[in-house]
Structure formats: structure tokens, C-alpha cells
Chains A and B, each alone.
Chain A
């Protein structure tokens, strides 16, 4: 191998295409397709008395209108509950079109197909639905009260309930010399990708019928299987192709969406191409949200700050339905522990129905809430004992020599929660050095002298990444020498084309420019799970690496035969196989590809070399040796034993305006450990994007539902996604503790940046203001009112914090 490409800051190969308008997104396809639009419920909870479509029938360009009554067979059944779990008491999922009841604003009630979206929306406007309005249930408190019920036939609003215990936490807390009780809450937010959802279906009625479906999804194979089941088709009749996707952040792992089955179903009914491109308003009310969670923490600890017992009660708002199961509260329950090892732990969650949009994993997936609970608790312990906040964390972290560390629970993939690697004491030292923790009191004094208020905070996290069951890689050398790579999971802009090409280039010895990567196309890789849980590099990266090693072995074997050399004496450099030490003796990879496929017919000069009279043949052996296949391909699958655990710490310095209560981030520092870095530039990009969403969730974004279940800020005018001007410069330091669980030694990096942001920013604002912050996000208006309440003595002050002595010597 010439230069190592693994670990190199290679520029993203997809960027030229994506930044010069060369991308091809869902709505760029099917310009001649008919358009679909949906009549959506304007009410949070209602019974449908009647749907009157008469007035819509005059709309010029109308093709069809469908309601629930038009659906039969599996289409008339509820959509699947994707991830069943024993804790689920009553798992409700929606119908493709509402059947009698609607349970949130935006729920699809009728589907219109028309010549174009203009006509479709005209028709939608003219369909009159007569609703009997029922009680809305908004917020976990209301849901828990259960005086109003979301789902007909249920006695309360509890979708799932789970208690997990390691040791006897209540007893440990009871016996502890110090105890604290905290209520810590995070509000609803959402993924809000730049591109919304979208589906484009083409039905081919020839030979029993076949469906080609394009979807802006995070799982091609999942959509394929789900749609095939709904439409009663064989898998072989359905192809799913995922074009460029303008962001997903978790939301697009949900499948099948109502629209995702209705569009192909109607395409088949009508034998026409149909496309649906979600608009922003639909996206806000009818896709998915996350984060809304209340957490009550009881903690007992010794005088050194070590946690002896931790008891957490979680009220999780899962919205109107439960299609993705209870992944989010399970992740919170388990990942709340972060890098720490409490003496005993008990966690209980209630997952609750409310009449709001569904809740499914959004980047971070339950961790930002859990980390908020744990890290705010750490700060409270430090203040209670008059200790530095870093020291309390250092007293609780798992040490490197304790790895692998078994937390004694089951993780979200149903496998043991065992941390494989990490160096948390070093991580703490790195973050405090990076932000200058020990010098901060001096800076605070200087700022104070100028009438400025500043504060510092930090937060740590551990993230289980790269869950199974598996991903595959397929690598093929063409006779041109070009290498085609395919993996089944999809890409939403992360840079898979670059990272996977780096793996192949590095392992095979070919230039990046000769490699083409395809993701999310069931025609190229039919076995796959999808892109979620920071798993792309771990699972597909490993599978592609393994497939490439297989392919390389085959290349060397064939080339060794042709060169009459030993495979062990060969190397591949820049796409050429040659004898080590005498590079003149060798051949191009493309030639090896020609030789790998013995031919009867010559198609061009190159293929002539592989025909039956072209050279010395071994008459004792068939042209394709036993146990071999023609062609130069390698396929392999990586199935992890369990997740690999990435980790990190963020530290933030904020300034709060004494007059206007505006919060400004002065510094944002990140230490991040995702094992071996395939490409530091890509990882930094992921961290930057994550931090941007973290800052968003801490200071700007929220889903403002009113009591009646109307989303008051369902547009970019009022949903405050931060602009570039609101996102701070981000300083990153990498820590690399390789994972022993996969061939690349990597851990996931996709979600990390968002996870500790709310905790760290809350800590910094608290530090600047001198009173507790236990709820995020926080707006200037809210900070203003907190100040007033603090002045009236309604909120506890945090004690003046001691200047800190360096950790470096202690650990």
C-alpha cells in the first residue's frame, strides 16, 4: 500500500456534485408524474363523521380521491409497529388514511391524485370533512393524569412502562450521607431536515407487475419489505432506490409512512406514475418529533461526590402513535449513565400517548435528555459538596483498566450494555485543557469588572453506536480497472461516498478517483438495515473493508497465477498489481479483472486476452476453478457482537446580557472519541452539524403546541432554526481509543455533536446567572422571567464556585 488513506483528511468527493446543483433529490425525479396531496386533520383529536368530496370533483386535472373506505386487505390494517418490545402495553399505530378517528393535527384523512400539485391542493381545499371534536391531550402531565384519553378503548395513556434495576438503588440512596432530588425537563424539538419526506412510484404492469419506488428514506430495504407487505407483492417485484437525500437526522428511518404506502398503492391502482413531495407545513405537523421528556432524579452520594445510588423516573411523550416502539426512552434509560458507574441504578419510564405528532429518534435519540439529567445532577452534587464540577465527574468515571465495562443492562439493540473502550479520565483532562477550565475564574473576574456576566459549563456523554444486525459490502473491479462499491444503507449527506471509497482505496491499493460508491439501492445490495444510530462507518465501513480484503485475496491469486509468482510477493499500488521490489513485473487491476472471467467471445482487445485460445491453459483444471466464481468481486457482511461505545465531552463559555437576558456563546469546545478516524474532516463535519443542532435545541428550537394540540410555530418563520450567524465557532480535539469490536477499530460519529449541548449550555448559563437551570431550551424571555423569580427567592441560587486546581496531576 502506498499512502495510507484511512485516517487522511480527504476532501468529500460528493461535494462538487451537491454544491453545484448536480444533486438529484426526490423532487428532481419524475417531472411528468402526477402529484399527490393529502387532506389532513386540522384537529388534534376528533371523530370523522363524514367526508364530502363532491365539490372537489369539478377541479380541473383531478384524477382520483381516496379515503379509508377505498382500502382493502393489508392496506386497511394499521401500519406496522416496527420494533416490538415487552414493555409495550398497548402499541397503537396509524392507518394509511384515518379510520374514523384522528389523533393529531396533520394526520392524513384523504388522498388526492391530480395532474400537478396545484390542482391537487385545489381539490384538497374543496374536500369537506365533518369532525366531532374530541379532547386534546398535550404534555406528559396531562397524559399521565388520564382524565382525557387519546386512544379509544384504552383506560389511560400509557403506551409502555419499564423498570430496569442494577443493584438496589432506593436502599443505596436511603443509606447515603447526601441525597438530592431534581426535576429536569427537555422540550420537544425535531430533526427538520432541509429536504422533507418524498415518494415517487412507478408501476410496471408487465409480467405480473413490478414496482419501482424512490423514497427520501434512511432505509431502502426496510421500505421495500414494508411496501411489499402492504401491497401484497413479492420482494422480487419491488425495487427501492434512494436518490440524494437532503438530511434525515433519524426522522427518515421511520417506515413505511402513510404516504409511503399510499403513493405506490395508488400508482398501481391507476397504473400511473405518482409523486408526493412533502411541503414544510406538512413536515412540521405530520412527520415526527422528539426530545419531550420529564425526568425526576433522586441521587445519593458520598462526601467525595461518588454516586452510591441513582433513581430516575422518566415521563416520555411518544405522541399519537408508537410506530417505532420505545427506542427513545430505552436509549435515555441506558445512556443516561454516560461515562459513570453509580453504585446502584434504578430507572423507570412511562411512555405516554398525546394528541401530537409522533415521536421517533432524532439525532441523539433520547441521549440529550438523559445526559441533561445526569450532567445537571453532577453539577448539583458538586455544588452541594462545594467541590469543583470536574472533580465530581472525575470521581465517578469508569477507568480505562475497567474496560470492557458491563453496566448490567440491555441496550436498545437487545444486547448487553457493555462499554468496549474509552479513556474517560483523559477525556476530562483534554476538555478542561482545551477550554481553559482552570483559568476561568480569572476571566470571570475581568469580565465582571467590565459589567459583563460570563459562565462556563461542561457535559460528558457515552454513545452506543453501530448496532447490528448487520450491513453488507459489495466491491467489484471492472475490466476498465474502475472499482464499483455498493452498500445497502443510505446516505443523507454524511459523506459515505468519500469514507467508503477511502476504505476501499486503502485496503485495495487503488486511487480514490477510480472508485464509485452506491448506497441505498436494492438493485445493488438487497440485504441491509439502514442508516441510524451512528452505524454507517462501523457496519458498512467494516463490511466494505472485509469485502475488499476478500477481493484483494482473489486479485492476488489470479495475478500470481498469471505472473507465475507467489501471491505473498505481490502488492497493489495505484491500481497495479506488481511483484514487490520489481515493479516492472506486474499488471493493471483491469487486466486481472479480464483474466478472472474466462470468455468464449472477444468483445474488444482487452477481452480477447480472456478467450479460450488466447494462452497456455491448464487442461487438468476447469477454466473457473472449483469454489471460485467468475469476475472480480467481493461481498461480505459485518454483524457486530454488540454496539461500540463512542464518548466525548463538551465545554461551553457563555455571556448573558444583564439587561436583555440574551445568551451568547463565546466558546464551544469539543473532545470527541470515535475510535480510529477514517477521515477527520468528515468527523469534524459531523460534530459541527451535531453541535449546530445542539445549540438549536438549547437556545432556539421547540415545538410550541397549545393546549388544543395546535402547533403554533409550524413554519420557518416561527420555528427558530439557528442561522449560521447563531452557531458558534467550534473547537475540536480528537481522542482515539480504537474499538476492539470491528476490523477498522471505529465507533460512530454521526450523532455525537448534539448529545451534551443542552446540558453544557444550561450549566454555563447557570454559572453565569448564579441560579439553577433545570429546563431547556431557554429563550431570553424565559431567562428574564427566571431572573425575576430568582430575585423573589423562588429559585435556588447556586453557591459561589471555587476556583479550580488542575486535574492533570491528580489523574
Chain B
């Protein structure tokens, strides 16, 4: 388990990084936290001839929080984002998802942006981005562009990024006021990629009726699959929402497959169970959110 030979670059400016990567063409790969790429290289499942290590690039290791959402730089480690209290208050789903990503030692090195670019259909953070309708900022030889989550995930381990592009940051918009979120999954062992996972966001109005609900599914579709649950639950109060109708909506859309850990049927079953659990938890969070600390707060802004 030793990688084949490669040329290693560790540029210190983003422009240099983009240039070196462009020169390498299809042989080039970006190295971020290395938690997915290095094992693949050691097993010779990936053999990039040129490695562009972005760890020395300045300014990419920051988390920026504003009222609209959270912008996460390409070198922000899972752990640092997980520990960021402001980010967790603004977009609670970040921490809810991150604590399910692998184990602390892997989160210490792995980057959230790297995980999104890697686009594993079982990974949590792509689902967080997709559910919240976030976007990726990518830089290539012809400049910077923003790609919405819906266009970003194109297949298993495939994204809308072009050859020679580097992801600079991910942007996670804050959910609408009155929203609550949850991320639940079932994995074989703690920290493993899930057999099925569901992220949910539920929004309530002042009468505590559901105005919007969405779920995003991992490990049961080629990309993080967002399903709008409005049809099943909008208008209901959380306590009487028809969660099983929501589960039906999911069942129609997912495309689970058999593997050695779980059958497609079992995954489909989990998708139903977890849809109900995720929506119930998210609704509960939304109720807490709307109740807030004082009488007329709408949550996050006021809580800060």
C-alpha cells in the first residue's frame, strides 16, 4: 500500500495553485486534509501524477458567519467548524451533521469543503449543503464562480467542477426564521458512513403550523437527494403531522442498492423510519426555536 510516484507542489498563493493545477491538466489533484485522497492513493485506486497541496494557501482556514449564513473556507477542518459556536447557532445543522462525520481524529484533519468536493453519496456535509440550498465558490484559470448545490452534485464522486478548478469555500445559508433542523442516521459502527441518513428542516409559522419541510437522504441515491415534504405535512401542527405520508414521498424517490452491509429493502425501510425521526426532531427544534428565550424573538438573531 504505497502510492505510485507523483510530483508534489505546495504553492503559497491561490493564483499559483490554480496555475500549477491547470498545467497538470487531468493528471492533477488537489490535496486538502488527505483523509479520502491519501488512502485512495495508497491503495493505488487513484494515481495522480501531480499533487497540489493547498494547505499552505493563506486565508482559506476561516469560518465567516453573518446573519445570512456561514461561509466555510477550503482549509477549515471538520473539527474547527464543529467547535465554532457562532456557526452552530446560525446554522445548527452544521454541528448536527459534523458530529456524524467519521471520528474525531479524522475530523481533525479532514476539511468540510474537501468532503463536499469528494461528493461521496454517503457523506453528511454534501447533504447539509444540498438541504440548505447552499453553494460552492470555485476558482479556475478563468476566474471565480459560484455553483449552487443543486448543480454541484452530479453523481457519485462527481461534481460540476471543471478540471483545474479549486473549491475556495462553501456557503451554508441560514434556514428561514422559525425553522428547526435535525440529522439522523444509522451506521454499522459509530462514525461509519451511514447505511442511510436523513437531514431535515422544518419551518413553522407563528401559529406553529408547518409552512415548509424538506429532507435530504444519504446512502440511498447517487447524490444527496433532497425531497420536498410540503405535500405531506404543510399546514399541520407538528404533533399531528402525517409523518408516514412524508415517508411515502421519500420511498418514491430513493434508489437504494444492496451491498454487503445492508440490503436495498432494509435501506428503504430505514429511509422511512429515519424520515419520521428526522422530521419529528426537526419540528421539535423548530418549536424550541419559535418559543425562543423571550416573547417576540424569531430565534437566531435575537439569541445572539
* Chain A CB within 10 A, most for which of B103, B191, B266: B266
Q: A281-B43, A785-B266 are in contact. Are A118 and B186 (CB under 8 A)?
A: no
Kindly list chain A residues whose C-beta atoms are within 8 Å of the C-beta of B296: none
Interface flag for A280 (CB, 8 Å)? yes
Q: A280-B1, A281-B1, A281-B43 are in contact. Are A726 and B260 (CB under 8 A)?
A: no
Counting residue pairs across A and B whose Cβ atoms lie within 8 Å, the total is 64
Interface flag for B44 (CB, 8 Å)? yes
**Chain B, 222-277, CB within 8 A of any chain A CB:** 260-263, 265-266, 269-270, 273
Q: In whole angstroms, what is the CA distance A722 to B191 when docked?
A: 11
Given contacts A725-B189, A780-B262, 12 further A-B contacts (CB under 8 A): A118-B3, A121-B1, A121-B2, A279-B1, A660-B186, A660-B270, A712-B260, A718-B261, A720-B192, A723-B103, A723-B191, A785-B266
B273 A700 Cβ-Cβ under 8 A: no
Q: A118-B2, A785-B265 are in contact. Are A726 and B270 (CB under 8 A)?
A: no
Q: A118-B5, A725-B190, A726-B190 are in contact. Are A784 and B260 (CB under 8 A)?
A: no
**Chain A, 254-305, CB within 8 A of any chain B CB:** 279-281
Interface flag for A659 (CB, 8 Å)? yes
A720 B265 Cβ-Cβ under 8 A: no
Q: In whole angstroms, what is the CA distance A659 to B247 when docked?
A: 14
Interface flag for B116 (CB, 8 Å)? no
B263 A722 Cβ-Cβ under 8 A: no
Q: In whole angstroms, what is the CA distance A121 to B103 when docked?
A: 30
A720 B2 Cβ-Cβ under 8 A: no
Q: How far is the CB of A345 from chain B (nearest CB, A)?
A: 37
Kindly list chain B residues whose C-beta atoms are within 8 Å of the C-beta of A720: 188-189, 192, 261
B interface majority secondary structure: loop
Q: In whole angstroms, what is the CA distance A662 to B260 when docked?
A: 16
Name the CB-closest residue of B to A658.
B273
Contact bitstring A411-422, B, C-beta under 8 A = 1, else 0: 000000000000
Contact bitstring B24-53, A, C-beta under 8 A = 1, else 0: 000000000000000000011000000000
Interface flag for B4 (CB, 8 Å)? yes
Interface flag for B195 (CB, 8 Å)? yes
Q: In whole angstroms, what is the CA distance A118 to B3 when docked?
A: 7
A781 B195 Cβ-Cβ under 8 A: yes
B contact residues vs A (CB 8 Å cutoff): 1-5, 43-44, 103, 186, 188-192, 195, 260-263, 265-266, 269-270, 273
Kindly list chain B residues whose C-beta atoms are within 8 Å of the C-beta of A784: 263, 265-266, 269
Q: Could you list 23 A-B pairs, sorted by A, with CB under 8 Å?
A: A118-B3, A121-B1, A121-B44, A122-B4, A125-B4, A280-B1, A281-B1, A659-B273, A661-B266, A700-B189, A715-B43, A718-B260, A718-B261, A720-B188, A720-B192, A723-B189, A723-B191, A779-B188, A780-B266, A784-B263, A784-B265, A784-B269, A785-B263
Q: In whole angstroms, what is the CA distance A444 to B5 when docked?
A: 60
Q: In whole angstroms, what is the CA distance A280 to B42 when docked?
A: 11
Interface flag for A434 (CB, 8 Å)? no
Kindly list chain A residues whose C-beta atoms are within 8 Å of the C-beta of B266: 661, 780-781, 784-785
Q: In whole angstroms, what is the CA distance A720 to B261 when docked?
A: 9
Q: In whole angstroms, what is the CA distance A122 to B3 when docked?
A: 9
B1 A781 Cβ-Cβ under 8 A: no
Interface flag for A494 (CB, 8 Å)? no
10 nearest interchain CB pairs?
A: A781-B266, A781-B262, A725-B190, A279-B1, A704-B260, A118-B2, A659-B273, A784-B266, A121-B2, A117-B2
B189 A781 Cβ-Cβ under 8 A: no
Interface flag for A713 (CB, 8 Å)? yes
Selected from B43, B189, B261, B263, the residue in CB contact (under 8 A) with A726 is B189
Q: How far is the CB of B115 from chain A (nearest CB, A)?
A: 16
Kindly list chain B residues whose C-beta atoms are within 8 Å of the C-beta of A723: 103, 189-191
Contact bitstring A429-449, B, C-beta under 8 A = 1, else 0: 000000000000000000000
Name the CB-closest residue of B to A719.
B260
B188 A660 Cβ-Cβ under 8 A: no
Kindly list chain B residues whose C-beta atoms are within 8 Å of the C-beta of A659: 273
Q: In whole angstroms, what is the CA distance A661 to B267 when docked?
A: 12
Q: In whole angstroms, what is the CA distance A765 to B82 when docked?
A: 37
B269 A125 Cβ-Cβ under 8 A: no
Q: How far is the CB of B30 from chain A (nearest CB, A)?
A: 22
B189 A722 Cβ-Cβ under 8 A: yes
**Chain A, 697-753, CB within 8 A of any chain B CB:** 700, 704, 712-713, 715, 718, 720, 722-723, 725-726
Contact bitstring A773-793, B, C-beta under 8 A = 1, else 0: 000000111001100000000
Q: How far is the CB of B4 from chain A (nearest CB, A)?
A: 6
Q: In whole angstroms, what is the CA distance A725 to B192 when docked?
A: 12
Kindly list chain A residues whose C-beta atoms are within 8 Å of the C-beta of B44: 121, 125
Kindly list chain A residues whose C-beta atoms are within 8 Å of the C-beta of B270: 660
Name the CB-closest residue of A to B270.
A660
B273 A781 Cβ-Cβ under 8 A: no
A713 B5 Cβ-Cβ under 8 A: no
Kindly list chain A residues whose C-beta atoms are within 8 Å of the C-beta of B1: 121, 279-281
Contact bitstring A97-128, B, C-beta under 8 A = 1, else 0: 00000000000000000000110011001000
Q: In whole angstroms, what is the CA distance A700 to B192 when docked?
A: 12
Name the CB-closest residue of A to B274.
A660
Q: In whole angstroms, what is the CA distance A119 to B273 when docked?
A: 51
Q: In whole angstroms, what is the CA distance A704 to B259 when docked?
A: 10
**Chain A, 348-379, CB within 8 A of any chain B CB:** none
Q: How far is the CB of B197 from chain A (nearest CB, A)?
A: 12
Q: In whole angstroms, what is the CA distance A779 to B195 when docked?
A: 12
Kindly list chain A residues whose C-beta atoms are within 8 Å of the C-beta of B186: 660, 662, 780
Q: A122-B5, A279-B1, A281-B1 are in contact. Are A700 and B188 (CB under 8 A)?
A: yes
Q: In whole angstroms, what is the CA distance A661 to B273 when docked?
A: 11
Q: In whole angstroms, what is the CA distance A279 to B270 when docked?
A: 35
Q: In whole angstroms, what is the CA distance A405 to B2 when docked?
A: 55
Q: In whole angstroms, what is the CA distance A779 to B267 when docked?
A: 13
Name the CB-closest residue of B to A713.
B260
Kindly list chain B residues whose C-beta atoms are within 8 Å of the C-beta of A704: 260
Name the CB-closest residue of B to A716.
B39
Kindly list chain A residues whose C-beta atoms are within 8 Å of the C-beta of B43: 281, 715
Q: How far is the CB of A725 from chain B (nearest CB, A)?
A: 4
Kindly list chain A residues whose C-beta atoms are within 8 Å of the C-beta of B5: 118, 122
Name the CB-closest residue of B to A35.
B2
Q: In whole angstroms, what is the CA distance A279 to B191 when docked?
A: 24
Name the CB-closest residue of A to B191.
A723
Name the CB-closest residue of A to B190.
A725
Q: In whole angstroms, what is the CA distance A279 to B1 when docked?
A: 6
Q: In whole angstroms, what is the CA distance A582 to B92 when docked?
A: 77
Kindly list chain B residues whose C-beta atoms are within 8 Å of the C-beta of A125: 4, 44
Q: How far is the CB of A661 from chain B (nearest CB, A)?
A: 8
Q: In whole angstroms, what is the CA distance A781 to B265 when docked?
A: 9
Kindly list chain B residues whose C-beta atoms are within 8 Å of the C-beta of A118: 2-3, 5
Q: How far is the CB of A216 from chain B (nearest CB, A)?
A: 17
Q: How far is the CB of A451 from chain B (nearest CB, A)?
A: 14
* Chain A CB within 10 A, most for which of B5, B188, B265: B188
Name the CB-closest residue of B to A702.
B260
A779 B262 Cβ-Cβ under 8 A: yes
Q: How far is the CB of B186 from chain A (nearest CB, A)?
A: 6
Q: In whole angstroms, what is the CA distance A700 to B1 when docked?
A: 25
A779 B261 Cβ-Cβ under 8 A: yes
Q: How far is the CB of A706 from chain B (nearest CB, A)?
A: 9
Q: In whole angstroms, what is the CA distance A333 to B2 when docked?
A: 44
Name the CB-closest residue of B to A784.
B266
Name the CB-closest residue of A to B103.
A723
Kindly list chain B residues whose C-beta atoms are within 8 Å of the C-beta of A780: 186, 188, 195, 262, 266
Q: In whole angstroms, what is the CA distance A249 to B34 when docked?
A: 32
Q: How far is the CB of A728 from chain B (nearest CB, A)?
A: 13
Name the CB-closest residue of B to A282.
B1
Kindly list chain A residues whose C-beta atoms are within 8 Å of the C-beta of B103: 723
Q: How far is the CB of A431 from chain B (nearest CB, A)?
A: 28
Kindly list chain A residues whose C-beta atoms are within 8 Å of the C-beta of B260: 704, 712-713, 718
Name the CB-closest residue of B to A721.
B189
Q: How far is the CB of A518 from chain B (nearest CB, A)?
A: 33
Kindly list chain B residues whose C-beta atoms are within 8 Å of the C-beta of A660: 186, 270, 273
Name the CB-closest residue of B to A60.
B5
